[in-house]
Structure 1
Amino acid sequence: MIPAKRIHTVEEYYFSKKLREVRGLIAAGKPIINLGIGSPDLQPPTVVVTALEASLHDETAHKYQSYQGIPELRNAIADFYQKNYNVSLNANDEILPLMGSKEGIMHISMAYLDEGDEVLIANPGYPTYTSVTKLLGAIPKYYNLDASTNWLPDLAKLEQQDLSKVKLMWVNYPHMPTGAKATKGFFERLIVFAKKHQILIINDNPYSFILNDEPLSILSIAGAKDVALELNSLSKSFNMAGWRTGMVMGKAAHIQHVLKVKSNMDSGMFYGIQKGAIKALESSKEWFTELNKIYAKRRELIWELATKLECVFDKETAGMFVWAKMPKNSNLTSEAFIDKLLYEKDVFITPGSIFGTQGEGYVRFSLCVSEEKIKEVIKRIEQ
């Protein structure tokens, strides 16, 4: 049987392939330490697991659930956004729970893109934005980011281009992979840009609370709901990556378009997961304080590791990664650099090139590893 032509527009996800190789090395007896993946190794709040367990005996627990999530979950999301971002959302029609924000990328794209439409995508940036765009027959239109502008897009430069076919623009702050933070002023300029060119902005915002004292939502900007959606997730903030719990927020009309797609793709989120998510969203700020104490200690060790590898990095960043420029005297590509570490030191980190051409010459370290393991990596490098 011949597969659809769209399959040939994308490659298998880098981590899907590379982690197969890493697992093979582990199976062969190699003591690999994985500093590549942003999958939290810590536990979610205890009350979250308790809520899931308690919900299993509820009368409706094992039935199909609403495509829009139970009202209590939407209310919890609205309260969370009001408390943490000072954003007011109508829980009835401005919030749509998702089975992870990654599915939201597909749903939003399917709701808005026709074949031949163009999409503004950051370089470097999350590879899924490009993959989904290509799968739908739309055209990625990359805007370059670099350290000189703190990894923020140059909107004036973008306006010099033909934007007449652009329907969507993906932004992601705090930024993955660099950890750069947006400012309120930047978001204000971005909303003006979007209104001028009739482009829907989607801010993918799962790293707000990781090593970041000033969480910021694009929806806090006046007029943002007219031209912006925001994706968020419980994966990073509450150590619930495997629960696949996210949400998209914005103007009711925009959410309704996304719901049309979503309601044809799934049959609702498992009830118990929704009950656990509610408890997570009700957590006090002390949860983030304690979580960030752990990540701060790990980041100090990763900075030490990066320094020993003669890499250069910015300490004024957020999120659960350290983005580092490779040594000036290195004549290796970023993939060759990380393979050298993998095969010689049994350490896996992520090459910057998988995030786009602007990521070449950089590597990314994950903080989702215990202090003990990071110290072991440092010892291996010293040897």
Structure 2
Amino acid sequence: MDIKVSERLNGIGEYYFSQKLREIEELNKQGKKIINLGIGSPDLPPHPDVIKVLQEESAKSNVHAYQSYKGSPVLRNAIAAFYKTWYGVDVNADTDVLPLIGSKEGIMHICMTYLNNGDKALIPNPGYPTYSSAVKLAGGTCKEYALTGENNWEPDFEALGNTDLSKVKLMWINYPEMPTGKQASVELFEKVVAFGRKHNILICHDNPYSFILNEQPISILSVAGAKEVALELNSLSKASNMAGWRVGMMVGAKERIEEVLRFKSNMDSGMFLPVQLAAAKALSLDKEWYDQLNAVYSERRELVYRLLDLLQCEYDKSQVGMFVWAKIPSSQKDGFALSDEVLYNKNVFITPGGIFGSNGNGYIRISLCAKKEVLEEALERIMASPNSSQKGA
């Protein structure tokens, strides 16, 4: 049979990490025992009370039916309370909140809701690759905007405003920014909101990292007038250690929530109720939870700094999030070359910055989602001379 894939998959390759994990699997079969410092998948468990809620609720006989497309009122109210407590943002739990089966899925929902063939979306370079993939799958066209260290990893709004924005409907932003770790600020969000209003562009802010090694979590919706021009995605994957649970949220104006729901309600049939109730518990946790989590990440980050020093990389200690973004030494061709050198010679995988866009070619990214002992072993391997046998290799 000659079955052809749809044209919408043209130009959409397999996700980089999907390919690389297969390569690492093959190296492990050869006995290499690769240390993977590439992916931001939390290795720590959720709070015990969150797991307890899931266990107790799952044992009940009346929780296994289809659920509301808009999510449980318990979860929506927890999201509203979370936004008020941590971001100082008032949202209506009945109209301004939409629980998601993962915020990554929400990226696709937004693109499918608003983009027609020929429409454009502004995509950060470097930035999360899913933004561009979702835009293309929805039939839209990507228009990159540059983020550079020289401009403190912020958009150059003046330069961007001088380009042709006539077909641009969406702008994807992500602060704290992944992969660069650039922190959010009220001043930056005010500029973004003003830009969106001036050019009639819907701002889509992806905000999963605001609690990781960051003392000042901020929502774009805290800026005056933001709800008129912005949607925000958030997630329990990172700050609640619930990546595999697939729980996210979208917050914004009632009209936008209703528009996205028209698409989403045709894509899934709601989320398992015990997961929603456990997520509500996770959202109610106090500062002690985040302080304990960040104490672990802070200790790990110090080891990553030492590893980067060995690789002669430069990094900014003001960055936040669960990764460290670093500039490679001038002796290296690009981040891909350094990543491969470390992988094949030291049996340690680090992410080349170029997978996030051309402006990331001179960088690498290291995840903090590895235990202290694993990071110490990676340090030993990096320090080992090229001809010495590596522990665990």
- Give 2:268's aligned residue: 266
Cα pair 1:124 1:358 within 8 Å, conserved:
yes
- Mapped to 2, the partners of 1:16 and 1:62 lie a distance apart of 32
- Give 2:113's aligned residue: 111
Cα pair 2:37 2:369 within 8 Å, conserved:
yes
- Quote the offset at 1:183 in angstroms: 1.2
Which of these residues, 7, 10, 13, is aligned with residue 12 of structure 2? 10
- Quote the offset at 1:27 in angstroms: 2.1
- Quote the offset at 1:171 in angstroms: 0.2
- Mapped to 1, the partners of 2:325 and 2:125 lie a distance apart of 14
- Mapped to 2, the partners of 1:33 and 1:183 lie a distance apart of 35
- Give 1:334's aligned residue: 335
**Aligned: 1:83 with 2:85:** yes
Cα pair 2:38 2:351 within 8 Å, conserved:
yes
- Mapped to 2, the partners of 1:340 and 1:374 lie a distance apart of 18
Corresponding residue SS for 1:203: strand
- Mapped to 2, the partners of 1:282 and 1:264 lie a distance apart of 30
Cα pair 2:99 2:249 within 8 Å, conserved:
yes
Corresponding residue SS for 2:241: coil
Cα pair 1:48 1:277 within 8 Å, conserved:
yes
Cα pair 1:210 1:292 within 8 Å, conserved:
yes
- Mapped to 2, the partners of 1:103 and 1:58 lie a distance apart of 28
Cα pair 2:102 2:248 within 8 Å, conserved:
yes
Corresponding residue SS for 1:9: coil
- Quote the offset at 1:59 in angstroms: 4.0
Which of these residues, 204, 211, 214, is aligned with residue 212 of structure 1? 214
- Give 1:358's aligned residue: 359
**Aligned: 1:188 with 2:190:** yes
Cα pair 1:36 1:349 within 8 Å, conserved:
yes
Cα pair 1:9 1:135 within 8 Å, conserved:
no
Amino acid at match of 2:222: S
Which of these residues, 45, 61, 64, is aligned with residue 62 of structure 1? 64
- Quote the offset at 1:8 in angstroms: 1.5
Amino acid at match of 2:383: E
- Give 1:291's aligned residue: 293
- Give 2:252's aligned residue: 250
Q: Which range is displaced more, 362-371 or 22-31?
A: 22-31
- Quote the offset at 1:305 in angstroms: 0.4
- Give 2:349's aligned residue: 348
Q: Which range is displaced more, 56-65 or 121-130?
A: 56-65
Name the count of aligned residue pairs: 382
- Mapped to 1, the partners of 2:227 and 2:218 lie a distance apart of 15
Amino acid at match of 1:322: V
- Quote the offset at 1:326 in angstroms: 0.5
Cα pair 2:58 2:274 within 8 Å, conserved:
yes
Corresponding residue SS for 1:37: coil
- Mapped to 2, the partners of 1:71 and 1:228 lie a distance apart of 23
- Give 1:164's aligned residue: 166
Amino acid at match of 1:223: G
Amino acid at match of 2:366: F
- Give 2:23's aligned residue: 21
Task: Map 1:32-43 to 2 at 5 A.
Answer: 32-43=34-45
- Mapped to 2, the partners of 1:323 and 1:229 lie a distance apart of 27
Cα pair 2:100 2:249 within 8 Å, conserved:
yes
Amino acid at match of 1:266: D
- Give 1:145's aligned residue: 147
- Mapped to 1, the partners of 2:277 and 2:30 lie a distance apart of 41
- Give 1:128's aligned residue: 130
Corresponding residue SS for 2:10: helix
Q: Which consecutive aligned stretches of 4+ in structure 1 deviate over 2 angstroms post-superposition?
A: 57-60
Corresponding residue SS for 2:249: strand
- Quote the offset at 1:57 in angstroms: 2.9
Q: CA-atom RMSD, angstroms?
A: 0.8
Amino acid at match of 1:296: S
- Give 2:277's aligned residue: 275
Amino acid at match of 1:78: A
- Give 1:73's aligned residue: 75
Query: Deviations 1:318-375 (Å, cap 9, x if unpaired)?
Result: 1000000001222x33212111111111100100000000000100000000111111
Query: Deviations 1:153-187 (Å, cap 9, x if unpaired)?
Result: 01111110111110000000000000001210111
- Give 1:234's aligned residue: 236
Cα pair 1:65 1:271 within 8 Å, conserved:
yes
- Mapped to 2, the partners of 1:133 and 1:328 lie a distance apart of 34
For structure 2, the 5+ residue unaligned runs are 385-393
Which of these residues, 147, 155, 158, is aligned with residue 157 of structure 2? 155
**Aligned: 1:377 with 2:378:** yes
- Mapped to 2, the partners of 1:149 and 1:60 lie a distance apart of 54
Corresponding residue SS for 1:169: strand
- Mapped to 2, the partners of 1:111 and 1:229 lie a distance apart of 13
Corresponding residue SS for 1:299: helix
- Mapped to 2, the partners of 1:177 and 1:285 lie a distance apart of 25
Cα pair 2:328 2:334 within 8 Å, conserved:
no
- Quote the offset at 1:9 in angstroms: 2.2
Amino acid at match of 2:115: L
Cα pair 1:133 1:139 within 8 Å, conserved:
yes
Corresponding residue SS for 2:221: helix
- Mapped to 2, the partners of 1:186 and 1:57 lie a distance apart of 46
- Mapped to 1, the partners of 2:334 and 2:85 lie a distance apart of 44
- Give 2:387's aligned residue: none
- Quote the offset at 1:70 in angstroms: 0.4
Amino acid at match of 2:129: P
Corresponding residue SS for 1:253: helix
Cα pair 1:152 1:182 within 8 Å, conserved:
no
